[in-house]
A and B are shown apart, each in its own frame.
Chain A
Amino acid sequence: MSHNAHIPIGPYHPLQEEPEFYKLVVEGENVVDVDVRIGYNHRGIEKISESKSFDQSIFIVERICGICSSSHPIACVQALEDLAGLEVPERALYIRTITQELERLHSHMLWLGLAGHFIGYNTVFMWGWKYREPICDIMETVTGNRQNYAMMKTGGVRRDIEKEHIPYILTRLDEFSRQLDMLKGAILDDPVLHARLKGVGVLTKDAAIDYSALGPTARASGVDIDVRRDHPYAAYDRVKWNVITQSTGDVFAKTVVRILEMEESAGIIRQCLDEMPNGPIDSNPKDIPPGEGIGQVEAPRGECFHYIRSDGTNSPLRHKIRAPTYMNFPTFRETVIGETVSDATIILAAIDPCYCCTERMLIVDSKDKELMGVQELIRLSQEKTAKLKAKMGIK
C-alpha cells in the first residue's frame, strides 16, 4: 500500500494545520500516550498494480518510496522470479547489489543530515546533504537518474555498467568515504551527542522481537537479523561484509549502526566492481505461469516484502507490498512513552520514517487541549541541546 511510502522528506513540514497525525498525550514534561493517524500518503498502489501488467508494476512500485527506489523493484522482480523459477545472470546480480548499496549510502547520509537538524546541528544537516551528492552523481552515471532508477526487470537488469565509468565511480566513492570518515569522527566522539542521545528512546530486545522490528531499528537493540545474510539474494553471498549490531537500543546505538553500515556498503560496492564477471544482464523470460512468489530485500530501513499471486494472465491477481516502516512505526509508541517532550522528534527520527509524519506531530495535554505543534517540538529539541552544551561548557 502506498502508506508504505515512508521516506524522509525533511524538517520543512508540509501540512501544518490539519487533523492530528501524531497525538502525544503529555503530563507535565513526560509523554504518557501516543496515537497515530496515517493515510495521508495512501495512493492505492496495490489496487493499481492489479490493473497493470507485470512489467508496468515494477515502475509503480518504484514510486512507493523515494528512498527505497531500488529496494521495492528488486523485491518485486524477486517475487516474480521466485514464482516462475527464473535464473538471473551473474552480472545482473552484481549490478543489483551495487545499485542497492548506493541507495543505502545516500539514504543513511540523508538521515544523518535530518537527525542533525532535529538536534540543532545544522552544519551536519547541510554537510550530510552536500556529501550525498557524489552518490547521486554516481547514480546518474550508472542509471541515468538521480532518484527513480528504473534499473530492474524480471530476469535481470535493464542497463549495464560500462567499463569506462568504473574509474569515475571509484573516484567519487573515495571522495564520499573521506567525507564519511570526517563526519564519523565528528559525530561519534562528540560529548554533547553522547549526553543527548544515549539512553534516550530505548527499545528493548524483547520488544523488538515482539513487534517484529526490522533493519537498523532492530539491529541497534541486539536483534541480529539482516535479510542480505539470512535470505541471501543478489550477490551478497559472494562478497565479504559484516552485519552491524549494537546492544543498547537507544538513539545513539541507531546512529552508530547506520554510520558503520555506510562503511560496509562502500566496501561491498568496491568488491562488486572488482569482481563483477562479464556476461549477459538479462535472461529474457517469456511468461509468468500461475502461482505465488515472495521477494525479500534489505532496504535501508529494514526488510521490504512483496507477495505476488498470478493466475496466468499478464497482470497480478494480488500484489501485497509491505515496507519496513510499517513494522517499525508501532515501536515508536513503545519507545516514546515515559520520555520527555523535547526528545519526541529525535526518537521518531531514529526509526527513520517518512518525515511527512514527523511534521504532523501535535501535543495535547491530558485534557485534550492542544498545546504545541511540530515546529515548537523541533525548537524544544534544539534548545535542549543548547542547554546541554552550556552545562558542559562547550560553545
Chain B
Amino acid sequence: MCPTIRALERTDDMKIDELIKSIQDKFGSKVLKVYKHNDKRAYVDIYPKDIVEFTKYIFKDMGLRFNIASAVDDFDGLEILYHFADDLTGYVISVRTILKDKFDPHIDTITSVTRSAWWIEREIRELFGIEFDGNSDLRGLLLPDDWPKGVYPLRKNFVVPKRDSRKA
C-alpha cells in the first residue's frame, strides 16, 4: 500500500478513468483535452496558468508522486509535461502545458507545492530557456559557467555539427 500524509480517496483497484474523471470533475473546463493512451497512461492538457492548482490537487490531495517534468521543443511552442506516478494503482498521469511564446516563455513554479521540482526547473531553464516565476534559485545546474547566454542546447534550433573523431 502506498502511504501518504494527504487525504487519499483512491484504492488499488481503481481504474485510470476514475482518476481522470475526478480531475475533470474538480476542474471542469480548465481541462482542455484528455488523451488516454492505454490502461496505464493518460495525458491531460491544460493552460500554463493553471499548473499550480493542478499540481496541488494531484500531488497533495490525490497523493500521486511527482516523477519529473520534461520539456519538448515542438512546432506549437515549448511543451512542458509534468509526470505524476500513482504507486497504488500503477498509472502515470502526465499534465501537458504548451507555452506558445518561444522568445520569452514564462510559467509559474511548482516548488511552492513540492520541493522535488527544484532541480528540474533549474535544468529546464538552462537547457530550454523557460523562466519559472516565483522560483528564487534558478542558477545553472549542468552547463559550464562560461556557456553563452541565450543559447539553449535542447532547442531544435541548436544543432551540434557532426565531428570527425580525430579532430575537435
Cβ A210 vs Cβ B115 within 8 A: yes
Q: Is A47 a contact of B2 with CB atoms below 8 Å?
A: no
Min Cβ gap B77→A in Å is: 14
* B41 and A39 within 8 A (CB): no
Is B99 positioned at the interface, with any CB of A under 8 Å from its CB?
no
By a CB distance below 8 angstroms, the chain A residues around B2 are 224-225, 230
**A230–B85 Cα gap in the complex (Å)?**
10
- Are A222 and B153 within 8 A (Cβ)? no
Q: Which of A255-309 contact B (CB under 8 A)?
A: 291-294, 296, 303, 305, 307, 309
Question: How far is B83's CA from A152's CA once the two chains are assembled, in angstroms?
Answer: 25
Interface residues of B in 91-143 (CB under 8 A from A): 92, 94, 114-116, 118-120, 123, 140-143
Query: Contact between B70 and A44 (Cβ–Cβ < 8 Å)?
Result: no
How close is A245's CB to chain B, nearest CB, in angstroms?
10
Which of B4, B90, B142 lies in contact with A209, CB distance below 8 A?
B4
Q: Verify if A166 is at the interface (C-beta below 8 Å from B).
A: no
- B38 in contact with A330 (CB, 8 Å): no
Query: Is A38's CB under 8 angstroms from B41's CB?
Result: no
Q: Give the number of chain A interface residues (Cβ < 8 Å).
A: 41
- Chain B CB within 10 Å — which of A3, A305, A320 has the most? A320
Residue-wise interface mask of A (210-238) relative to B, using a CB-CB cutoff of 8 A (1 in contact, 0 not): 11100000000011110000111000000
| Contact of A38 with B142 at beta-carbon distance under 8 Å, contacts A210-B116, A212-B65 already known | yes
B116/A211 in contact, CB under 8 A: yes
Tell whether A225 pairs with B65 under 8 Å between CB atoms, given A38-B141, A210-B115, A326-B119.
Answer: yes
**Cα–Cα, bound, A380→B154 (Å):** 42
Q: Which residue of A lies closest to B1 (CB)?
A: A224
Q: Is B68 an interface residue (CB 8 A)?
A: yes
In the complex, what residues of B have CB within 8 A of residue A1's CB? 123, 142
Assembly CA distance A135 to B42 (angstroms):
39
CB distance from A293 to the nearest CB of B (A): 8
How many A-B pairs fall under 8 Å by CB? 100
For residue A303, which residues in chain B have a CB less than 8 angstroms away from its CB? 67, 85
B38 x A85 contact (CB < 8 A): yes
How far, in Å, is B56 (CB) from chain A's closest CB? 13
CA distance in complex: A39, B127 (Å): 13
Query: Beyond A39-B142, A85-B38, A225-B2, is A212–B72 a contact (Cβ under 8 Å)?
Result: no
Q: Which residues of A contact B144 (CB under 8 A)?
A: 39
CA distance A212 to B67 in the complex (A): 7
Classify chain B's interface size: 35 or more
- Asked whether A172 is an interface residue with its Cβ less than 8 Å from the other chain, the reply is no
Which of B4, B68, B119 makes the CB contact (< 8 A) with A330?
Answer: B119
A40 shortest CB reach to chain B, Å:
9
A322 touches B68 (CB 8 A): yes
Cβ of A193 within 8 Å of any chain B Cβ, yes or no, is no
Closest CB in chain B relative to A328 CB, distance in Å:
10
How distant is the Cα of A327 from the Cα of B85 in the complex, in angstroms?
14
Specify the main secondary structure of chain A where it touches its partner.
mixed
From B41, B114, B118, B119, give the contact of A82 (CB < 8 A).
B41
Whether, in the assembled complex, A196 has its beta carbon less than 8 Å from a beta carbon of chain B, the answer is: no
Rounded to whole angstroms, the CA-CA distance of A82 and B94 in the bound complex is 14
B43: Cβ under 8 A from any A Cβ: yes
Contact between A47 and B85 (Cβ–Cβ < 8 Å)?
Answer: no
The answer to whether the Cβ of A317 comes within 8 Å of any Cβ in the partner chain is yes
Q: Would you call A206 an interface residue if the criterion is a C-beta within 8 Å of the partner chain's C-beta atoms?
A: yes
Query: Does B28 count as interface, using CB distance less than 8 angstroms?
Result: no
Chain A residues within an 8 Å CB radius of B142: 1, 3, 38-39, 42
Q: Is A318 an interface residue (CB 8 A)?
A: yes
CB of B107 to closest CB in A, whole Å: 17
How far, in angstroms, from A303 to B87 measured CA to CA in the complex? 12
Residues of B within 8 A of A82 (CB): 37-38, 40-41
Question: Apart from A231-B87, A293-B37, what 20 extra A-B contacts exist at CB < 8 Å?
Answer: A1-B123, A39-B143, A47-B160, A206-B5, A209-B65, A212-B67, A225-B65, A225-B87, A230-B2, A230-B87, A231-B85, A232-B90, A303-B85, A305-B67, A307-B68, A320-B68, A322-B67, A326-B68, A330-B118, A330-B119
A interface residues with partner B (beta carbon < 8 Å)? 1, 3, 38-39, 42, 44, 46-47, 51, 82, 85, 205-206, 209-212, 222-225, 230-232, 291-294, 296, 303, 305, 307, 309, 317-318, 320, 322, 326-327, 329-330
7 of the cross-chain contacts (CB-CB < 8 Å) are A82-B38, A205-B3, A210-B115, A212-B67, A231-B90, A322-B68, A330-B115
